[in-house]
Structure 1
Amino acid sequence: MMRPLMRFPSAVRRDPVVQAWLDAHADALGAIARQWFEALRRCGGDVRELLHDGMPTACVGDAAFAYVNAFRAHVNVGFFCGAELPDPAGLLQGTGRFMRHVKLRPDTAIDEAALTRLIEAAHADAKARLQLEDAMPHSG
Structure 2
Amino acid sequence: MTQLFRLTGALRGDPDVAAWFSAPEHDLRRLAQPWFEALRACGPDVRELLHDGHPTACVDGAAFAYVDAFSAHVNIGFFHGAALDDPAGLLEGAGKRMRHVKVHWGRPVDAAALNALIAAAYQDVRARLEAE
How many residues matched?
A: 132
Q: Percent same amino acid among aligned pairs?
A: 60
Amino acid at match of 1:52: H
Give the CA deviation at 1:30: 1.8
TM-score, normalised by the number of residues in structure 1: 0.90
Gaps of 5+ in 1: 134-140
Tell me, yes or no, if structure 1 residue 99 matches structure 2 residue 114.
no
Equivalents in 2 of 1:121, 1:101: separation in Å? 13
Partner residue, 2:39: 40
Give 1 or 2 for the bigger CA radius of gyration: 1
Tell me, yes or no, if structure 1 residue 73 matches structure 2 residue 72.
yes
Q: Report the RMSD for the aligned CA atoms in angstroms.
A: 1.2
Gaps of 5+ in 2: none
Q: Secondary structure at the match of 1:14?
A: coil
Partner residue, 1:59: 58
Change (3 A) 1:126 1:25: farther
Amino acid at match of 2:33: R
Q: Secondary structure at the match of 1:6?
A: coil
Q: Secondary structure at the match of 1:67?
A: strand
Equivalents in 2 of 1:53, 1:28: separation in Å? 19
Give the CA deviation at 1:26: 6.3
Partner residue, 2:128: 129
TM-score, normalised by the number of residues in structure 2: 0.96
